[in-house]
Amino acid sequence: MAVLRSYRRFVVVVWQFLPLLWGWLRDRRRFVAFGGSRRVTAEMRRERARILLDALLTLGPTFIKLGQLLSTRPDVLPTEYIEELAELQDRVPPADWAEAQRVIEDELGPVDDVFDAFNRESISGASLGQVYTADVDDQQVAVKVRRPGIESLVEADLRAIRWSIPIVVRFVGQGQAFSLENLADEFAKTIREEMDYSREGRMLTEIRANFADEPDIVIPTVYEEYSSDRVLTMQYIEGTKISDVDTLERRGVDRSQVSETLERAYLQMIIEDGVFHADPHPGNLAVQDDGSIVFYDFGMSGRVDSFIQDKIVEFYVGVANQDIDAILDALIDMGTLSPEADRAVMADVMELAIQDARGENIETYRVQQIVGKVEDTIYEFPLRLPPNLALVLRVATVVEGVCVTLDPEFDFITVATDYLAEQGYREESIRQFAAGTVEEFQAAATSVLRVPPKLERALDKVEREDLYVRADLEDSNRVIDALARRVVLGLVLATSVPTTAFLYVTADVTAAAISGAFTAAVGAALYKTFRRRNGLQASPQFTRQNLRERDGGGDDGGTALARSGSQIEADDAGTATNGD
Q: What is the pLDDT along the chain (580 residues), one digit of tens a residue?
A: 667 878 888 888 888 888 877 777 777 665 555 556 677 787 888 888 888 888 888 888 888 888 877 776 666 677 788 778 876 765 566 778 898 999 999 999 999 999 999 999 988 777 788 899 999 998 999 999 998 888 888 999 898 888 888 877 776 655 566 667 777 777 888 889 889 999 999 999 999 999 999 999 999 999 999 999 999 999 999 999 998 999 999 999 999 999 999 999 999 999 999 999 988 888 889 999 999 999 998 988 889 888 888 888 888 888 877 788 888 888 888 887 777 777 887 888 778 777 776 666 665 555 555 555 554 444 345 566 666 677 787 788 788 888 888 988 888 888 888 888 888 775 555 454 445 455 556 666 666 666 677 777 777 777 676 766 666 655 555 667 777 777 888 888 888 888 888 777 776 777 778 888 888 888 888 777 765 444 333 333 334 444 444 445 444 433 333 333 333 333 333 334 454 5
Q: Are 179 and 381 in contact (CB under 8 A)?
A: no
Distances in whole angstroms, Cα of residue 333 to Cα of each of 301, 343, 345, 394: 24, 14, 18, 19
Distance CA 367, CA 205 (A): 44
Distance CA 358, CA 355 (A): 5
Distance CA 110, CA 107 (A): 9
Q: In 268-386, which residue ranges form alpha helices assigned H by DSSP?
A: 306-320, 324-334, 343-357, 364-376
Length of the chain: 580
Nearest-10 Cα torsion for 156, 159, 160, 165: 160
Q: Are 133 and 111 in contact (CB under 8 A)?
A: no
Q: Is 279 a catalytic residue?
A: yes
Distance CA 95, CA 127 (A): 10
Span 412-467, pLDDT tens digits: 888 888 888 888 775 555 454 445 455 556 666 666 666 677 777 777 777 676 76
Within 13 Å of residue 556, how many CA atoms lie on the same side as its CB? 15
Angle at 187 between CA 57 and CA 294, to 5 degrees: 85
Partnered with residue 136 across adjacent β-strands are: 139
Please name the residues in contact with 100: beta carbons below 8 A apart, sequence gap of 6 or more.
Answer: 94, 122, 130, 132, 145, 148
Please name the residues in contact with 5: beta carbons below 8 A apart, sequence gap of 6 or more.
Answer: 152, 156
Distance CA 104, CA 437 (A): 62
Active-site option among 75, 90, 244, 279: 279
The distance from CA 184 to its chain's CA centroid, rounded to whole angstroms, is 13
Q: Are 104 and 231 in contact (CB under 8 A)?
A: yes
| Amino acid in position 436 | G
| Amino acid in position 559 | T
Residue 19: how many CB atoms within 10 A of its CB? 14
**132-156 in b/e burial notation, b at 16+ Cβ within 10 A?**
bbbebeeeebbbbbbbbebeebbbb
DSSP 273: I
* pLDDT of res. 542: 37
* pLDDT of res. 374: 53
C-alpha closest to that of 558 among 549, 570, 568, 569: 549
Q: Are 259 and 406 in contact (CB under 8 A)?
A: yes
Q: What is the pTM of this model?
A: 0.67
Distance CA 486, CA 299 (A): 56
Question: Across 51-186, where does the E strand assignment appear?
Answer: 117-118, 124-125, 129-136, 139-146
Helix axes 387-406, 306-320, angle to 10 degrees: 40
Distance CA 477, CA 262 (A): 43
The kind and range of the H/E element at 301 are strand 301-303
C-alpha closest to that of 75 among 198, 180, 186, 204: 180
Please name the residues in contact with 216: beta carbons below 8 A apart, sequence gap of 6 or more.
Answer: 261, 265, 291, 292, 293
